[in-house]
Amino acid sequence: MLDRRHFIAGGLSVLASPALGFTLEARYKPTTVAVSTQYDVGKLIVVPRGHFLYYVTAPGEALRYGVGVGRAGLEFQGTATIAYKRKWPDWRPTNEMIAREPDTYAEFIDNEYRQPGGPDNPLGSRALYLFENGIDTYYRIHGTTAPRSIGRSVSNGCIRMLNEHVNELYERVPVGTRVTVL
């Protein structure tokens, strides 16, 4: 649950980002582009090598967003379905993440702690949960506290978007949307 303190802190962090010198490269800003008519309206397509997510808005047309994606060997590939969505989601690293980077995730070792949603949460302001054949893939399309990761392959596999972009996408796509990661 987002309380007043988190809301104010989140707003201040958004206002502070330009002051910190972060500017998103123009190619990663939301842009309407032409796509193959083979893709159904409403579908999401992620092209990790290009660091783009496409939301098909009309036959042959999509809204393209810049994204950050998984490091080599950690990325999801295939087709999944958005099983549910969360605003200001809580978060816990997977057991694999903890085993791979125990120093980074030390506070999660030998407990069930989940970091509450808020401006410091790695999932950012929104998360779309990807399931394959009814089973959680543990991959998400989510916001980020690291806007400089957009356009890079640095995550533990999830697809990161700027919070303002994932907020927009969250409102556009319903549960049940198909997501293909090429």
In the chain, where the domains are located: 4-181
Q: Is the pLDDT of residue 72 over 90?
A: no
Q: How confident is the model at residue 73 (pLDDT cuts 50, 70, 90)?
A: confident
Residues marked active site are found at 142, 158
Give CA–CA dist 175/107, Å, rounded. 32
The arithmetic mean of pLDDT across residues 79-103, rounded, is 95
What per-residue confidence (pLDDT) applies to 1?
47
Element (DSSP H or E) covering residue 163: helix 163-172
Burial class from Cβ neighbours inside 10 Å (0-12, 13-18, 19+) for residue 57 reads: middle
Please list the residues that pair with 31 across neighbouring strands: 64
- Which segments within 50-167 are labelled E, that is strand? 52-58, 61-66, 69-70, 78-87, 126-132, 135-142, 153-155, 159-160
pLDDT tens, residue by residue, 21-59: 679 999 999 999 999 999 999 999 999 999 999 999 999
CATH class of 4-181: mainly beta
Parallel, antiparallel or unpaired: strands 153-155 and 126-132:
unpaired
| Least trusted range by pLDDT, from 69-78, 124-133, 173-182 | 69-78
Confidence class of residue 75 from pLDDT cuts 50, 70 and 90?
A: confident
The Cβ of residue 23 has, within 10 Å, a number of other Cβ atoms equal to 8
Listed residue (76, 84, 74, 181) closest to 128, CA to CA: 84
pLDDT at 92: 95
Any residues with CB less than 8 A from the CB of 111 and at least 6 apart, and which? none
Q: Contact 50/138 with Cβ under 8 angstroms?
A: no
Residues in the chain: 182
With bands split at pLDDT 50, 70 and 90, how would you rate the model's confidence at 20? Answer: low
Chain centre distance of CA 98: 20
pLDDT confidence band for 12 (50 / 70 / 90): very low
In percent, how much of the chain has pLDDT > 90?
82
